[in-house]
Amino acid sequence: MELSGKIALVTGSAHRVGKHIALRLAQEGCQLIIHYNHSKDEAFKALDEVKEQGVKAIALQADLSRHEEIINLFEEIDMEFQGLDILVNSAAILQPKGFLEVELSDWNQTMALNLKAAFFCLQQAAIRMQTRGGGAVVNISDVIGLRPWAKYPVHSISKAGVEMLTKVAAIDLAPEIRVNAVAPGPVLAPDSMSPTRWEELAKGSLLRRNGTPQDVVNAVVFLLKNDYITGETLVVDGGMHLI
């Protein structure tokens, strides 16, 4: 896929890895929808940076855990861009709670954003992509969806669901729409993690270092551009899942 001129939605792109992905797509010439929920100030800062690349871009707010707000988000996109070519499902929540500590509210909140929202955003995007002859989707998964991490049980389960969503959607939407995933390892420390623990994580990879957001960005762009890959997960974790 040639990215220049394509219309792209990156969910959760006000900050962290989602913002890095949006900026790179703008550099590639994509028109951008910056999505945010609570991070309005960060979203409009990201929007300014994206517009510096000379592309059309807007910032839209939606609580993706609410289905009606997903529908409204895509209707707003229709009014501004009349279609969609690329979706990057990046919005997610990460809650550090052990198995016995998880409450129903934790489960519902994580599943609603990490899995349910990813499913229905992909569904709405696919409807629009079909009218334009096709498109490409990249779901941001997580290495702990492939390799369980006891301290984040609900996140692990939700991202395992994203892995299966990627495969099911790739089969159902082929050949017009390609669906892939990127499963990052440690590339940005969670707010709840201490610097010492972050440094310790590096020892758990074959490369003995943590990654960077740019490593994830490069993987996303590779999957968007390569027209002969679908239903695959590109693991970007320095070999952590092999240990």
What local confidence, expressed as pLDDT, does residue 150 receive? 80
Domain holding 107, by residue range, is 7-236
Residue 241 lies in a domain: no
Instruction: Provide the annotated active-site residues.
Output: 152, 159
What local confidence, expressed as pLDDT, does residue 161 receive? 98
> Among 138, 13, 16, 114, which Cα is nearest to 65's?
114
What local confidence, expressed as pLDDT, does residue 73 receive? 99
Query: Listing from the earlier edge strand, what are the strands of the sheet with 177-184?
Result: 57-61, 31-36, 7-10, 86-89, 135-140, 177-184, 233-236
Instruction: Give the chain's domain count.
Output: 1
Helix (H) and strand (E) counts in the chain: 8, 7
Q: In this structure, what token pair is assigned to residue 4?
A: 């220049």
Q: What is the mean pLDDT of residues 42-47?
A: 98
Residue 243 lies in a domain: no
| Chain centroid to CA 142 | 10
Can you spell out the DSSP letters for 59-85? EEE--TTSHHHHHHHHHHHHHHHS--S
What local confidence, expressed as pLDDT, does residue 192 receive? 74
- CA dihedral (243, 88, 53, 228) positive or negative: positive
What's the pLDDT band for 48 if we cut at 50, 70, 90? Answer: very high
Helical segments of 82-212, H only: 104-111, 117-131, 153-173, 195-201
What's the pLDDT band for 149 if we cut at 50, 70, 90? Answer: confident
Are the CB atoms for 7 and 85 separated by under 8 Å? yes
Residue 68 lies in a domain: yes
What local confidence, expressed as pLDDT, does residue 76 receive? 98
C-alpha distances out from residue 80 to 26, 32, 60, 74, 84, Å = 17, 11, 11, 10, 10
Quote the CA–CA distance of 134 and 144 in Å, as a whole number.
Answer: 31
Residue 1 lies in a domain: no
Residue 2 lies in a domain: no
What local confidence, expressed as pLDDT, does residue 194 receive? 83
What local confidence, expressed as pLDDT, does residue 7 receive? 99
Can you spell out the DSSP letters for 200-211? HHGGGSTTSS--
User: Among 106-120, 121-135, 187-201, which stretch is predicted with the lowest mean pLDDT?
Assistant: 187-201
Quote the CA–CA distance of 79 and 88 in Å, as a whole number.
Answer: 20
Residue 173 lies in a domain: yes
pLDDT per position as a tens digit, 174-224:
999 999 999 999 998 877 788 888 888 888 899 999 999 999 999 999 999
Residue 144 lies in a domain: yes
pLDDT per position as a tens digit, 54-78:
999 999 999 999 999 999 999 999 9
In CATH, what number is assigned to the domain containing residue 120? 3.40.50.720
Residue 80 lies in a domain: yes
What's the pLDDT band for 81 if we cut at 50, 70, 90? Answer: very high
What local confidence, expressed as pLDDT, does residue 151 receive? 87
Q: Helices 67-81 & 117-131, crossing angle to 10 degrees?
A: 30
DSSP designation for 195: H
What local confidence, expressed as pLDDT, does residue 198 receive? 86
Reduced to 3 states (helix: H, G, I; strand: E, B; else coil), residue 92 is coil
What local confidence, expressed as pLDDT, does residue 197 receive? 86
